Structure 1
């Protein structure tokens, strides 16, 4: 048996509860991991409300990432090895079964809680900026929700590879935070027009968009000729009305939508391999890249953690400590 966060139906934070449930049994090419920490993602709050069900075959337990230790040796993964991973579900629990080629060694200089701020956010960021958008040095990128978990990862990855970075965020505090991470331009979307600010910036070659409908026209205005526009979330709505395709065609924009959770195991394994081979772990080990941990909660405080995420006050990741 193990402890896990379960839900009494769908709804507000009061449906979250800690329960005793059976421990998962690893299948072929899977590793049983004893989880030390997980981290919150927007998908978690949507799943709690019944708006984002797990893909077929995935755990019904909320949680898209984890850090922990290998519970039972499998292949080259020795018992006790510190690891982290993205998940299709199951992070808010004491144990999870994970494909062996999805495991990532935790850099020695990071705690379990610090490392928990890496998997989902940083691998998503790497996927959209390099795997999909093919970002190159000296290109300009517009990152929405710059102070989010993915946003803070994107800023650091973009600067590591020599891109120029513009971000949007919702407060002066978050603007300053993003600048300190390396953003060349920070825009308060509540008080400023990012469309006008990006025009002064000379436009952007890449738009990384987790907002969706509310920003559609302004994103089109901001993007340069032959730009790549990646939509990976719809926090600002999913229904776009009266869109002129001529605007997209005139700029020869590549408009791409993507998710990570529902991708195949093979796709995720390839992405993780490239993430590791590109030296990202070495940059964490050397302190060049830093996971941004905003606040840590215990498993029993999971409702408070969800409440904080929904207030949208955090800069960086909210982490859930599984082992006290």
Structure 2
């Protein structure tokens, strides 16, 4: 049970991520059937204002000693840096040793990593920071494709909004679905989202800058809805099949089949966002041919079904 939640702030705290922690755990919702939670806002120096990116300051009223006895210690996002306050790192380690659950939102995971709490643990980070995170914390078992990771007493979330998913998941785990749904209803958010953060990763149409294959790649992008045998592509490039395959990997980093599949998934994403085509038409125009094949490759690459993706990202009402 989450009877006491302590939120730890450092300089450079992100206001939205701090706010969502407050919204889930710090607002009195006992009238909606949510158990009362004692919410503590803590910092290294109580009463000392902490800066943010948006020109306001946030002042924690309690010191790090208020982490003692907390069931949950929540860490919002903040500006990533090379070094973090040693006293805060010690307080987080002490809280973990005392049996508290630790939850991070977005870049808050860097603070847990700096405290050594993610060594050998499953965790996630924002997709734009995955290389940086993996380089800093090589012992962490990073999964960059999910919205959050529940590894028992440590829960890490990916980007900004996925912090809501992680917080509501923890409420559901500790207090049950009815309580999590009551909070979600007041926040007007989904109690639980499907898929992972792969669906939010930007996949731009590649610039065809490779000298020898640039015309061929451009032509392939214009003809994604037709079949392309390697022999036919090699013939169009006036190369032997072996030379073509070797040069294609050297210039694109992948095989012709995988490159085509990735571009067809990208085309399907664009069609799902910008058109009212049915799934069969999306499959045909993106080059997959059948809806079954589209669903297979789309779910494998993006992490959700085409219909689920459309419900989230369509720029116009989706077809019933």
TM over 0.5: no
**Superposition TM-score, scaled by structure 2 size:** 0.26
TM-score calculated relative to the size of structure 1: 0.26
Larger RCO, structures 1/2 (Cα 8 Å, 6+ apart): 1
